[in-house]
Amino acid sequence: MKSMLFAIIVGSRGFFPGHLAATGRDDMISAVEKAGHKCIILSPDDTEHGAVQSYDDAKKCAALFKEHLDEIDGVIVTLPNFGEEREIANALRLSGLKVPVLIQATPDDPEKMSIHWRRDSFCGKMSACNNLRQYGILYSLTKTHCVDPLSDEFQDDLGQFSATCRILGGLRGLRIGAIGARPQAFNTVRYSEKLLEAAGISVITLDLSEILGRVSRLADDAPIVLEKIEAIKSYISIEGVPHPAIIKQAKLAAVTEEWMTEVDVTISAVQCWTSIEENFGVVPCTMMSMMSSKLMSSACEVDVCGLIGMHMLALASGTPSALLDWNNNYGGAANKAVCFHCSNLPKEFFKSYKMDYQEIIAGTVGKENTYGTIDGSIKSGDMTFIRVSTDDATGRICGYVGEGRFTDDPLETFGGAGVVEIPEMQKLLRYICENGFEHHVATSFSSVSDAIVEAARYLGWNFHLHDGKA
């Protein structure tokens, strides 16, 4: 997991014990470092106790943060006592930082309520939030109103906040590679490049013919091809797969990743159905699976918005994600469904898997043109699901997110498939259909829905959190 750099503001008010600000500063530094992160913070040489209590302190704090403007991932405001709420807001405004802000207040001890120990952080947090709201500064809250920075509970708060910061940082200036045109039959994956661009996300397009042209000029024994063949063999068993299909898969992977490096794109959405099979004679699934496994998320059918959901999950959890279909009911189980793709799922999703041919497309283009799919059963475990969409009618980016689990329920089929169980799933399905969301959904083995909802709030995206309660 990526180590973060947090800017820390220690709030303190002169009426309250200064020693609490001093120890509170040390405690927050310890908490951040325990989580594996680094921090930028005023020292006791800069201001009294290293806290922000005056406008001059706010200016000093802002100047320090400006020196690291492009490095800071988020801000933590710690209130070991009531705090000077206006100067906290001033420090943030003057710094020019546009990153998430977490507000933490340290609880009082009922046995230490004398003038020498009383904090009043419980009250001070409300005042700090009020001022930030007045200043138009978005902020996040800990799960409990007051929480000890040295507690396990705060480590959980910090973990969620870190995930939110990773999502925001990972989407800022994101460049997506869209390789090929949207398949004619897939109106459902239409999206607005303009809405994404307005959100700071650029889509870099490439015609599929250019990829295939590069492939045609690449020799079978080129070093980059031989390197990719070995990478494929290390990634998955190729037993029973014709060698020409492996060469094609290796060439496709080589030129795709080479182009991505050239144009500086991080993730990709690739045309598949059925142009690549008809014009090149292979499915791109293995290449895409390998990229997603390396957290270079890759989505099929040029589903750019589905890809963004995959990327958000990967950023939040630090684990691979996949794009699946909400595909079948599972008997009469109202809270279960079959999730499926042909598939390009990363190998981390499977309890068992193999490279094979793609049975659905094979009936149209011939078995020999569809080798390279990753076939297997999805393992059980907790999961988060997400769908991102661009809503041209409202001019907003929207989506939904929730949590459930992949089960061990038996399922005999082809492709990459598993059974999911989601509380109140019929309510979710109704929401999807009533609001016209796509049939594709991104998933990962994680529990990060809260971090995603929080990130969407900072982004100004209209996101729905599925409520699994009856």
> Rounded distance, CA 449 to CA 386, Å?
8
Q: What is the mean pLDDT of residues 276-303?
A: 96
Look up residue 455 and give its DSSP letter. H
Q: What is the mean pLDDT of residues 136-147?
A: 98
Q: In the chain, helix, strand, coil percent, each to 5?
A: 40, 25, 35
- Comma-separated ranges of CATH 3.40.50.10940 domains in the chain: 5-171
Yes or no: domain 5-171 corresponds to CATH 3.40.50.10940: yes
Residue whose pair of structure tokens reads 């000093």 in the numeric block: 60
Predicted pLDDT at 274: 85
Encoding tokens for residue 288? 């895409």
Predicted pLDDT at 288: 98
Q: What is the mean pLDDT of residues 444-468?
A: 97
Q: In this structure, are residues 21 and 12 in contact, taking their beta carbons and an 8 Å threshold?
A: yes
User: What single string gives the DSSP state of each residue in 45-106?
Assistant: TTSGGG-B-SHHHHHHHHHHHHTTTTT--EEEEEESSS--HHHHHHHHHHHT--S-EEEEEP
Q: What mean pLDDT, rounded, does the chain reach?
A: 96
Tens digit of each residue's pLDDT (9 = 90 or more) over 203-227: 999 999 999 999 999 999 999 999 9
Predicted pLDDT at 426: 98
Q: Can you name the CATH fold of 175-465?
A: L-fucose Isomerase; Chain A, domain 2 (3.40.275)
pLDDT band of 17, cuts 50, 70, 90: confident
Predicted pLDDT at 149: 98
Q: What is the mean pLDDT of residues 437-443?
A: 97
Beta strands in 241-370 (DSSP E): 267-270, 298-300, 321-329, 336-341, 350-357
Q: What is the mean pLDDT of residues 305-328?
A: 98
User: What single string gives the DSSP state of each residue in 123-141?
Assistant: HHHHHHHHHHHHTT---EE
Give the residue among 304, 59, 287, 106 at the shortest CA–CA distance from 194: 304
CA distances to 223, 229, 437 from 434, rounded to whole Å, are 52, 46, 8
> Rounded distance, CA 4 to CA 164, Å?
11
Lowest mean pLDDT among 401-405, 411-415, 420-424: 411-415
Tens digit of each residue's pLDDT (9 = 90 or more) over 86-115: 999 999 999 999 999 999 999 999 998 888
Predicted pLDDT at 337: 98
Percent of the chain whose pLDDT exceeds 70 = 100
pLDDT band of 18, cuts 50, 70, 90: confident
pLDDT at 131 over 90: yes
pLDDT at 463 over 80: yes
pLDDT at 470 over 80: no
Q: What is the mean pLDDT of residues 157-176?
A: 98
Q: b vs e for 90-100, b when ≥16 Cβ sit within 10 Å of the residue's Cβ? A: bbbebbebebb
> Rounded distance, CA 454 to CA 458, Å?
7
Predicted pLDDT at 360: 85
pLDDT at 458 over 90: yes
Around Cβ 421, how many Cβ atoms within 10 Å?
Answer: 17
Tens digit of each residue's pLDDT (9 = 90 or more) over 319-336: 999 999 999 999 999 999
Predicted pLDDT at 358: 92
Tens digit of each residue's pLDDT (9 = 90 or more) over 383-408: 999 999 999 999 999 999 999 999 99
Cross-strand partners of 322: 443
Predicted pLDDT at 14: 82
Give the residue among 289, 266, 95 at the shortest CA–CA distance from 172: 266
Q: What is the mean pLDDT of residues 148-169?
A: 98
Predicted pLDDT at 279: 93
pLDDT at 185 over 90: no
Predicted pLDDT at 15: 80
Predicted pLDDT at 291: 98
pTM: 0.96
Q: In this structure, are residues 432 and 325 in contact, taking their beta carbons and an 8 Å threshold?
A: no
- Comma-separated ranges of CATH 3.40.275.10 domains in the chain: 175-465
Nearest 5°: CA angle at 77, between 71 and 78? 130
Tens digit of each residue's pLDDT (9 = 90 or more) over 40-79: 999 999 999 999 999 999 999 999 999 999 999 999 999 9
